[in-house]
């Protein structure tokens, strides 16, 4: 796009000369000999650049008229680039115009090459301003959207979740790094969004990154950004996720999936509070609140040499452990009703209800896939429903996990010891020294047992 230019000068020979000179430089060239129609012309033609004379009345060379119309243009649209033009070489007035918002000024008689170069630069600035305004509007819309609750899918009444939510609200207002742990499907990202929503950073964005889906070859570019030309497809500068989350929250999901070399790069960024784009040597300060999540036992991974202990210390100032759905009691029924209403509306099958027999089946099931599995089960049942009643046979559940809630099963001493150790680690929020002390063993013995159990 070459852009559109409007030229205003009371000398018609000047208008003719400039129009001829610039008709190949701009997609459209408009001229006015009187500024009274200036704003209406800009509105009608969506002008990008204005070449504005500073004086319009014979015998008057104060430049005040030009400055007045400059103010009117910028009042209407401050992204328009305005270049002042004067025949009297009044540098003082021209400088005053630049201070008032003009892009630049030129003197009559002008140098064609210099004039064209100045106009091209002014058009580039105009496009840059328009892009910035667009990004600001987009970001503001995103911020407003993120302030809204996330579909109310974080539904709970159980005491287990009451404890979790009390902790969420308590720590959200701090800038402490949070590690969210729990089985797959327990809703770790929803908790991360609640932490952001209750934080002092909730006017900014929360950026989520699934660490398990980022390839090692693109890791640095994705997280830290890259400079133009740093590799074959790097056709322009690009901000990474750390920069995008500036002043907001950065959620690193499945952080336990990172290799040791990638862990080191994350650690360096967190320690230095700076990142450097690929292909650049300019460090960029970062101001983020870090929230991480994993379904892995990071303490055991440290014992096996698979996770850096110093990184764990950085990311888990506070640990929030999500209970599995099987430990949330009647939350199963609450969530089932919510998902039923959601998918009944989505698939236009209003009036669906879950029978008492089916409800008992859902309550007895251990839900190894947690809330995510329940959601998919309800959606599948709604899709396949032939009538308004969802009964026992509407839900195809894993027989191995059925009727397993609350049942006592025989265990070996090793299995019981393993469960006791893991339960203690969970209770003490991963503080291995306290766990070892309460179990009456040394810290090294505790690590050896974890390694033996391959946790």
Give the list of residues 6+ apart from residue 434 with CB closer than 8 angstroms, or none.
428
| Token output for 424 | 């203690």
In the predicted model, what is the mean pLDDT of residues 367-379? 94
Per residue in 309-328, pLDDT (tens digit) is: 999 999 999 999 999 999 99
Band (pLDDT 50/70/90 cuts) for residue 293 is very high
pTM over 0.75: no
User: Can you point out the beta strands (E) in 161-240?
Assistant: 178-181, 206-210
| Same domain? 191 vs 69 | no
| Same domain? 214 vs 246 | yes
pLDDT of residue 455 exceeding 50: no
Band (pLDDT 50/70/90 cuts) for residue 150 is very low
In the predicted model, what is the mean pLDDT of residues 299-312? 95
pLDDT of residue 141 exceeding 60: no
Which range has the worst mean pLDDT, 19-23, 91-95, 302-306, 344-348?
91-95
Band (pLDDT 50/70/90 cuts) for residue 402 is low
In the predicted model, what is the mean pLDDT of residues 397-417? 60
The packing angle between helices 432-439 and 413-427, to 10°, is 130
List, as own/partner pairs, every contact residues 427-431 make where C-beta atoms lie below 8 angstroms and the sequence separation is at least 24, other chains included.
Answer: 429/319, 429/321, 430/298, 430/299, 430/316, 430/319
CATH number, residue 424: 1.10.10
Give the list of residues 6+ apart from residue 321 with CB closer than 8 angstroms, or none.
164, 180, 181, 182, 426, 429
- State the Cα–Cα distance between residues 407 and 103, nearest whole angstrom: 77
Q: Rounded to whole angstroms, what are the CA distances from 391 to 358, 371, 382?
A: 5, 20, 11
- Give, in degrees to the nearest 5, the angle at Cα 250 between 184 and 241: 110
Beta bridge partners of 315: none
- State the Cα–Cα distance between residues 128 and 443, nearest whole angstrom: 59
What pLDDT sits at residue 271? 96
Band (pLDDT 50/70/90 cuts) for residue 146 is low
pLDDT of residue 241 exceeding 90: yes
What pLDDT sits at residue 62? 67
Q: 71-85: buried (b, 16+ CB within 10 Å) or exposed (e) per residue?
A: eebbeebeebbbbbb
| Same domain? 165 vs 65 | no
- State the Cα–Cα distance between residues 269 and 385, nearest whole angstrom: 51
CATH number, residue 246: 3.40.50.300
Range of the domain at 394: 325-401
**183 within a domain of the structure (yes/no):** yes
What pLDDT sits at residue 410? 47
Domain boundary among 305, 321, 337: 321
In the predicted model, what is the mean pLDDT of residues 339-361? 94
Q: Distance between the two ends of the chain, CA-based, in angstroms? A: 60
| Same domain? 240 vs 297 | yes
| Same domain? 66 vs 177 | no
**141 within a domain of the structure (yes/no):** no
Per residue in 102-140, pLDDT (tens digit) is: 999 988 889 999 999 999 999 999 988 887 876 766 566
Question: Which is more confidently placed, 57 or 302?
Answer: 302
What pLDDT sits at residue 412? 60
What pLDDT sits at residue 255? 97
| Token output for 28 | 């459209």
Which range has the worst mean pLDDT, 39-53, 123-137, 204-218, 312-326?
123-137
Question: Which is more confidently placed, 360 or 86?
Answer: 360
CATH number, residue 85: 3.40.50.2300
**373 within a domain of the structure (yes/no):** yes
- State the Cα–Cα distance between residues 184 and 325, nearest whole angstrom: 10
| Same domain? 164 vs 231 | yes
**357 within a domain of the structure (yes/no):** yes
What pLDDT sits at residue 151? 45
Question: Which is more confidently placed, 32 or 405?
Answer: 32
- State the Cα–Cα distance between residues 355 and 332, nearest whole angstrom: 14
What pLDDT sits at residue 318? 97
Domain boundary among 321, 339, 364: 321
Mean pLDDT of the chain: 87
| Same domain? 286 vs 346 | no
| Token output for 95 | 């400088």
């Amino acid at each position: 796009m070459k852009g559109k230019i409007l030229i205003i000068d009371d000398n018609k020979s000047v208008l003719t000369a400039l129009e001829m000179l610039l008709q190949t430089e701009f997609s459209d060239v408009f001229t006015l000999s009187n500024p009274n129609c200036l704003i209406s012309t800009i509105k009608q033609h969506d002008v990008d650049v204005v070449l504005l004379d500073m004086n319009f009345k014979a015998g008057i060379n104060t430049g005040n008229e030009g400055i007045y119309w400059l103010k009117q243009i910028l009042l209407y649209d401050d992204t328009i680039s305005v270049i002042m033009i004067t025949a009297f070489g009044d540098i003082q007035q021209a400088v005053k115009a630049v201070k008032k918002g003009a892009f630049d000024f030129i003197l009559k008689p002008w140098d064609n090459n210099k004039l064209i170069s100045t106009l091209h630069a002014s058009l580039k600035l105009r496009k840059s301003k328009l892009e910035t305004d667009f990004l600001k509007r987009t970001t503001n819309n995103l911020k407003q959207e993120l302030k809204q609750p996330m579909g109310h899918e974080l539904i709970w009444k159980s005491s287990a979740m009451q404890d979790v939510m009390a902790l969420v609200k308590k720590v959200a207002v701090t800038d402490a790094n949070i590690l969210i742990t729990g089985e797959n499907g327990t809703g770790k990202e929803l908790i991360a969004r609640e932490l952001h929503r209750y934080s002092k950073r909730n006017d900014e964005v929360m950026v989520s990154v699934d660490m398990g889906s980022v390839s090692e070859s693109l890791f640095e570019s994705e997280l830290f950004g890259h400079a133009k030309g740093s590799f074959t497809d790097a056709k322009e500068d690009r901000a990474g996720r750390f920069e995008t989350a500036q002043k907001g929250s950065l959620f690193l999901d499945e952080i336990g999936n990172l290799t040791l070399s990638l862990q080191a790069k994350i650690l360096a960024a967190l320690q230095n509070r700076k990142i450097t784009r690929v292909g650049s040597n300019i460090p960029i300060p970062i101001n983020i609140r870090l929230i991480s999540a994993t379904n892995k036992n990071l303490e055991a991974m440290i014992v096996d040499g698979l996770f850096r202990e110093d990184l764990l210390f950085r990311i888990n100032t506070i640990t929030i452990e999500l209970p599995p759905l099987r430990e949330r009691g009647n939350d199963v029924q609450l969530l089932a009703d919510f998902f039923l209403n959601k998918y009944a509306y989505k698939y236009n099958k209003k009036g669906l209800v879950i029978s008492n027999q089916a409800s008992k089946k859902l309550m007895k099931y251990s839900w190894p896939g947690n809330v995510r599995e329940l959601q998919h089960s309800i959606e599948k049942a709604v899709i396949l429903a032939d009538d308004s009643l969802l009964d026992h046979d509407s839900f195809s559940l894993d027989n191995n996990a059925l009727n397993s809630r609350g049942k006592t099963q025989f265990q070996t001493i090793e299995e019981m010891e393993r469960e006791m150790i893991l339960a203690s680690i969970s209770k003490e929020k991963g503080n291995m020294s306290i766990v070892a002390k309460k179990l009456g063993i040394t810290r090294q013995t505790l690590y050896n047992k974890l390694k033996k159990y391959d946790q």
